[in-house]
A and B are shown apart, each in its own frame.
Chain A
Amino acid sequence: MRVHQMVPRLDAGDAVSNQALAIHRLVTMWGFESHIFANGMDEFGKRHASYDYNYREFMSSPEDLFIYHFSIYCGNYEMLLETRNRKVLIYHNITPARFYDNFYPEAAHLCRLGRDLLPRLAGCDLALGDSDFNRLELVEAGFDEDRTGVLPINPPLDKLDGVEGDEDFEAWLADGKVNFLFVGRVVPNKRVEDIVKLFYCYHRGVNARSRLVVVGSLLNTYYSALLSLVRKMGLEDEVFFLGKVSDSRLKSCYRRCHYYVSMSEHEGFCVPLLEAFHFDLPVLAYAAGAVPETMGGAGILFYDKDYPLLAELVDRMEKDRLLGDRVLTAQRERLTSFDGSIFTLSLRRHLERLLGLGEPDKPPVRTPSGEDESTIVREG
Chain B
Amino acid sequence: MIQVNGREFDEHGLHARAEARKRVGLYDERLLALLDRDIVEEVEEHVFSMIQVVYDLQRSLEERGARLEPPPDLASPGEKPGHARSFLRRMQTRFIRAVNEGYVQQQEKYNTFFTKAVDISYRQLCGAGGGVVMSEAARKRGLWLSRRPQWDVEAVRAVYGLGKFQVVMVGIPGTTILELLREDGRLVVALDNSDEAVAEAQAHFLPAWYHPRPIDILESLRTEELDLLAITFPECLTGSEVEGIIGWSGERMDGKGIVLAGLNRGWSEVLSGDDGFVRYWPRRLLAGLMERHGFVTEDWTAGERRFLKGMKGS
Interface residues of A (CB under 8 A from B): 102-103, 106, 168-169, 172, 175, 177, 188, 193, 197, 200-201, 203-210, 217-229, 232-234, 236-238, 240-244, 287, 297-304, 306-313, 315-316, 323, 326-327, 330
Contact = CB atoms under 8 A, between A and B. Distances in A.
Given A234-B210, A302-B1, 17 more contacts: A106-B105, A208-B195, A209-B196, A218-B116, A220-B111, A221-B49, A221-B51, A229-B37, A229-B39, A236-B126, A237-B127, A237-B128, A287-B3, A298-B6, A303-B1, A313-B2, A316-B14
A234 B116 contact: no
Interface stretch (B19-27, B148-156, B236-244): B19-27
Given A197-B35, A205-B202, A218-B111, A102 B43 contact: yes
B111 A217 contact: yes
Nearest to A231: B126
A159 to B, nearest CB: 20
B27 A205 contact: yes
Contact of A301 (B2, B104, B134, B211): B2
Contacts of B127: 236-237
A324 to B, nearest CB: 10
A228 B50 contact: no
A357 B49 CA distance: 54
Question: Which range holds the interface residue count of chain B?
Answer: 35 or more
Given A205-B27, A217-B108, A311-B18, A225 B47 contact: yes
B112 A217 contact: yes
A218 B115 contact: yes
B284 interface: no
Nearest to A178: B199
Interface stretch (B212-220, B250-258, B260-268): B212-220
Ranked 6 nearest A-B pairs via Cβ: A297-B6, A225-B42, A208-B198, A308-B18, A208-B195, A234-B211
Output the residue of B49, B115, B116 with the most chain A CB within 10 A.
B115
A225 B123 contact: no
A308 B22 CA distance: 9
Contact of B3 (A206, A222, A300): A300
Contacts of B3: 287, 300-303
A313 B212 CA distance: 26
Nearest to A236: B127
Contact of A308 (B5, B21, B45): B21
B270 interface: no
A353 B245 CA distance: 76
B104 to A, nearest CB: 7
Contacts of B126: 236
A208 B210 contact: yes
B180 interface: no
Chain A, interface SS category: helix
Interface string B166-183: 000000000000000000
Nearest to B40: A102
B34 interface: yes
A200 B217 contact: no
A200 B199 contact: no
B214 to A, nearest CB: 9
Interface string B109-120: 101110110010
Contact of B43 (A103, A232, A244, A330): A103
A237 B141 CA distance: 12
Contacts of B294: none
A209 B115 contact: no
B83 interface: no
Contacts of A206: 21, 202
Contacts of A300: 2-4, 9
B11 interface: yes
Contacts of A307: 35
B31 interface: yes
Contacts of A172: 134
A51 to B, nearest CB: 18
Nearest to B14: A312
A169 B202 contact: no
Contacts of B6: 297-298, 301, 330
B210 to A, nearest CB: 4
Contacts of A302: 1-3
Contacts of B51: 220-221
Contacts of B123: 236
Nearest to B111: A220
A224 B48 contact: yes
